[in-house]
A and B are shown apart, each in its own frame.
Chain A
Amino acid sequence: MHRDAVLQALVLVAVVAGMVWLVGNVQSNLERQNINSGFGFLSERAGFGINQTLIDYTEDDSFGRVVVIGLLNTLLVSILGILFATLLGFSLGVARLSRNWLISKIAMVYIEIFRNVPLLLQIMFWYFGVLRNLPSPRQALSVGDAMFISNRGIVVPWLEAGAGAMWYGLGLLALAAGFIWLRRRALNAKLTSGQPTQVWRPLLVLALALFGAAAVMAGVPFALDVPQLKGFNFRGGVTVIPEFVALLLALSLYTAAFIAEIVRSGINSVNKGQREASAALGLPESLALRLVVIPQALRVIIPPLTSQYLNLTKNSSLAVAIAYPDIVSVLAGTTLSQVGQAVEIIFVTMMIYLSLSLFTSWAMNRYNQRMAFVGNAT
C-alpha cells in the first residue's frame, strides 16, 4: 500500500516534469526560430469571408470571433446529426428485430452498407454526387416560388423580426412554462385518482390567449423575407448550404447504422420472459416495447451510444474535405495558415474537441445513472 503511493507520486512527478520540459522546449525553439507565439492573434482582424455564420460576422471581425463561428457550426451539425442518427438508428434497430421478413432484411442491408463504407467516401458521395445533379440557380427547382433548390443550396423564406418581437418571445416562454405545469398536473391527477386529465386543449387556449395578448401589445412585427433570384444567386431568406446538407446527411446515415446495432443488442439483452409477461398482461406489442423492453434495454444501450455521439462529433471534422466551415476548417485551416502559429492553434482546436466530448460524456453518464436506477429497482 505504502510502496504503491510512492510509485504513484513518482509517476506523477515524471509526468509533470515531462510536460514542463515539453512546453519549455517548444517555447525556446519557437523563439530561436523567430516564430511568433502567444494568443495575441485572437484579437486581430481576420480579413477572410465565411459562408455559414450563425452569428453576425464580417471580414472586420477578429480571429476570436472566427473561433466562436467555427465552434457553433460544429455544434450545429453535431447536435442535428446526433438527433437524426438517434431517431433513425432506433427505428432501424427495432426494424432489424421485426418479425416481418422484408422489414428486417431492409434494415439489415441498410446497416451493412452504411457502416461498411468509409465515412469520408460517403461525405464525398453526398456532396459531389448530389451537387452535380442539381440545377444552377437560374434553373432552380422551386417549391411554390418561395423555396428554391439549386447547386447553391436550399433557400427558404425567413421571418424578419422587427421591434416588439420580444413580446412574442415572452409569450413563447410563458407557453413553455404552462406546458410543463399542465403536464405535471395531469401526471399528479393520474397518480392520485387514476383519471386522465386534459393537457392539449387547455394548452391551445393558453396559446391563443398569450399570442392574442402579444398581438395587442405589439401588433405583428414580423415580415416574411422571401428569397428572390437577383444576379448570380438568390438574395433574402435563409440559405442552407450544400456542404452542410451533405455533411449532416452522411454523419446521420453513417452513425445511424451503428446505433441500430447497439439498439438491437440492447433489446436482445432483455430477458424474453419480460416480453411474454407483458403479452400476458394484455399489452399490445408496440406498448410492450415502449414501456417494458426499451426502458430495460437502455441500460445496455446508453454507454455504447455515448461513444457513437462522441464519434459523430469528432467525425464532423471531416467537413474540411467539402469546405463546410466547421472549427477545424476555419481555425486549424484558414486561421492557421493566415497566422502560422501551429502550436497554439492546434492546441485550441484539441481543447475544444476535448471539452465537447467531456461534456457529452458527462451528460450521457447522468442520463445513464437515472436509467440504471429505475432499472435496478426490481
Chain B
Amino acid sequence: MQMFRKLCVGFMVLAAANLLAMPAVQAAGETLEIVTKRGHLKCGVSQGLPGFSTPDNRGNWTGIDVDFCKAIAAAIFNDPSKVKFTPLSAKERFTAIQSGEVDIIARNTTWSMHRDTALGIDFPVVNYYDGQGFMVRADLGVTSALELDGATLCTNQGTTTELNAADYFRANGMQYEIVAFEKADESIAAYNSGRCDAYTTDHSALYAQKLKLSQPKAHIVLPEIISKEPLGPLVRQGDSSWNDLVRWTHYATVAAEELGVTSKNIDKMKASSNPSVRRLLGLDGSFGSNLGLSKQWAVNILRAVGNYGEIFERNVGVKTPLGIQRGVNALWTKGGLQYAPPIR
C-alpha cells in the first residue's frame, strides 16, 4: 500500500512537470495548417474597449480589432464567424501569444522595438495610428497637458502608457503621481470617483472610455498627443507565412478603399476592367494561393467586414458614439498614413 502511494506521488510530480512544459513551437507555415485543421481562429482581444473590441448587448464581439480577426477567418474559411475571442488584460497578452494559447492578438497593442525584438513576437502591420493623450474634468480649468504639474494620473498597468507618462512629465520638469490598475474598467472607475485628476491612455481609448463615465460631457480630452502609438495585431515569431497572411489581410482592406471597392459594390466591381481591381478580387493572378488561401480571399474579406474606410467608420468613425475623425488614419492619398504596397 505504502509502495503504491509513493509511486502515485512520483507520477503526480511528472504529470505536474508535463503541465508546466511549454507547447512546441510552430515552424513556418504551421499556424495556418493548425488553424485550418481546428476549424476556427483563436484571437486575443481586449477585455472591453468600445470601438476596438467589446461585446455588444447580445454578446457579440464588435470593433476594429474584432473585425481584423473576422477578416482573417473570412480569408481562411470564407466565414467571419469562425473566430473564438479570448479577452486578455494588458499584462496577460504577450504570455498568451508566446505560449500558443491564441493564434493572433488584435488588442490595440503598440508596436515598439523592445516588444518586436525581445518577446518572440512579430508585428505584421499597423491597423490604427494612435498617440497617448489625457482626459480631465472640464471644471478643472485645464486646457493643456502642460498645466498638469503635480497631477495624479490613473492608467492601465502593463502598457506603454506608464512609461510615456513618466517620460513626458520628466521632459517638461513636472511632478506627477501614477495609480496603475490591472483592468481598464477599474482605472476608469477610479478616475470617475475622483481618485485622479487625469486619465491617460491612447487617444482613441480616451474617447472610448469617456463613454463609460457617469457624465461623459463633463470631461474633456486635452489636445496634446505625447507619444507615437502604432497599434496593430501581433503573431508569434518564426512563422513568416502566417505573418504574411495577417499583413496582407490588412492591406487588402486598405487597397480596396483606395480602389473604391466596398462590401456593397463588390459584385459590380468584379466586372471592372481596372487591372488592380481584378488582381485584388482574384480575377487575375494567383495571389490567394501564394498565401495558402483561395483565389477569392480578398472578396471574402471584403464581403465580411468591408474595406478599411468602412471598418473605421462603422466602429469608431464620426457617426459612432466615439466620433473619431480619420486624421492620420486616412489613406495616404488623403494625407493620412494608411498605405498598402501594391498587389502585383
Residues of chain A having any CB pair with chain B under 8 Å:
3-4, 7-8, 10-11, 14-15, 18-19, 21-22, 25-26, 29-30, 32-36, 47-51, 59, 128, 131-132, 134, 136, 151-152, 230-233, 235, 241-243, 320-323, 325, 329, 332-334, 336-338, 340, 342
Please pick, from A14, A29, A242, A338, the residue contacting B195 in the complex, using a CB distance under 8 A. Answer: A242
Which residues of A are found within 8 Å of B238, using beta-carbon distances?
A: 32-34
Which residues of A are found within 8 Å of B118, using beta-carbon distances?
A: 35-36, 340
Please pick, from B98, B150, B159, the residue contacting A235 in the complex, using a CB distance under 8 A. Answer: B150
Q: Which of A22, A29, A233, A337 lies at the interface centre, i.e. has the most chain B CB atoms within 10 A of its CB?
A: A337
**CB–CB B166/A47 < 8 A:** yes
Whether A334 contacts B162 in the complex (CB less than 8 A), given A48-B178, A132-B193, comes out as yes
Whether A26 contacts B22 in the complex (CB less than 8 A), given A34-B238, A51-B179, A131-B195, comes out as yes
Q: Is B224 an interface residue (CB 8 A)?
A: no
Please pick, from B17, B150, B190, the residue contacting A230 in the complex, using a CB distance under 8 A. Answer: B150
Give Cα A18–Cα B20 distance, bound, in whole angstroms: 11
**CB–CB B10/A48 < 8 A:** no
**CB–CB A32/B25 < 8 A:** yes
**CB–CB B150/A48 < 8 A:** no
Residues 106-128 (chain B) with a chain A CB within 8 angstroms: 114-115, 118-120
User: Closest Cβ of chain B: how far from A269's Cβ, in Å?
Assistant: 32
Which residues of B are found within 8 Å of A338, using beta-carbon distances?
A: 114, 158, 162-163
Chain B residue nearest in CB terms to A231: B150
Chain A residue nearest in CB terms to B189: A128
Which residues of B are found within 8 Å of A235, using beta-carbon distances?
A: 150
Residues 1-49 (chain B) with a chain A CB within 8 angstroms: 2-3, 6-7, 9-10, 13-14, 17, 20-22, 24-25
Give Cα A59–Cα B175 distance, bound, in whole angstroms: 12
**CB–CB A340/B115 < 8 A:** yes
Please pick, from A35, A152, A321, the residue contacting B98 in the complex, using a CB distance under 8 A. Answer: A35
Whether A340 contacts B20 in the complex (CB less than 8 A), given A134-B194, A323-B179, comes out as no
**CB–CB B120/A334 < 8 A:** no
**CB–CB B6/A49 < 8 A:** no
User: Closest Cβ of chain A: how far from B8's Cβ, in Å?
Assistant: 10
Which residues of A are found within 8 Å of B307, using beta-carbon distances?
A: none
Give Cα A19–Cα B115 distance, bound, in whole angstroms: 30
Which residues of B are found within 8 Å of A34, using beta-carbon distances?
A: 120, 237-238
Chain B residue nearest in CB terms to A127: B190
**CB–CB A49/B178 < 8 A:** yes
**CB–CB B167/A47 < 8 A:** yes
Q: Is B228 an interface residue (CB 8 A)?
A: no
Which residues of B are found within 8 Å of A10, using beta-carbon distances?
A: 10
Chain A residue nearest in CB terms to B27: A32
Which residues of A are found within 8 Å of B190, using beta-carbon distances?
A: 128, 131, 322-323
Please pick, from A11, A48, A128, A242, the residue contacting B162 in the complex, using a CB distance under 8 A. Answer: A48
**CB–CB A333/B193 < 8 A:** no
Whether A232 contacts B150 in the complex (CB less than 8 A), given A25-B21, A151-B193, A333-B91, comes out as yes
Q: How many residues of B contact A (CB 8 A)?
A: 56
**CB–CB A11/B150 < 8 A:** no
Q: Could you list some 10 contacts between A and B, CB below 8 A? A: A11-B9, A30-B120, A35-B118, A232-B149, A233-B150, A243-B179, A333-B91, A334-B162, A338-B114, A342-B94
Give Cα A227–Cα B293 distance, bound, in whole angstroms: 66
Which residues of A are found within 8 Å of B13, using beta-carbon distances?
A: 11, 14-15, 18
User: Closest Cβ of chain B: how far from A333's Cβ, in Å?
Assistant: 5
Give Cα A15–Cα B190 distance, bound, in whole angstroms: 47
**CB–CB B157/A329 < 8 A:** yes
Please pick, from A14, A151, A321, A323, the residue contacting B180 in the complex, using a CB distance under 8 A. Answer: A323
Q: Is B182 an interface residue (CB 8 A)?
A: yes
Chain A residue nearest in CB terms to B198: A232
User: Closest Cβ of chain B: how far from A315's Cβ, in Å?
Assistant: 16
Give Cα A131–Cα B156 distance, bound, in whole angstroms: 19
Q: Is B90 an interface residue (CB 8 A)?
A: yes
Which residues of B are found within 8 Å of A321, using beta-carbon distances?
A: 182, 186
Which residues of B are found within 8 Å of A336, using beta-carbon distances?
A: 91, 158
Which residues of A are found within 8 Å of B94, using beta-carbon distances?
A: 337, 340, 342
Give Cα A324–Cα B91 distance, bound, in whole angstroms: 16
**CB–CB A49/B120 < 8 A:** no
Chain B residue nearest in CB terms to A138: B140
**CB–CB B163/A29 < 8 A:** no
**CB–CB A151/B17 < 8 A:** no
Besides A32-B25, A59-B170, A232-B152, 20 more A-B contacts (Cβ < 8 Å) are A14-B14, A22-B17, A29-B22, A33-B98, A33-B120, A34-B120, A36-B118, A49-B178, A132-B193, A132-B194, A151-B194, A232-B197, A323-B182, A333-B180, A334-B157, A338-B163, A340-B94, A340-B119, A342-B94, A342-B98
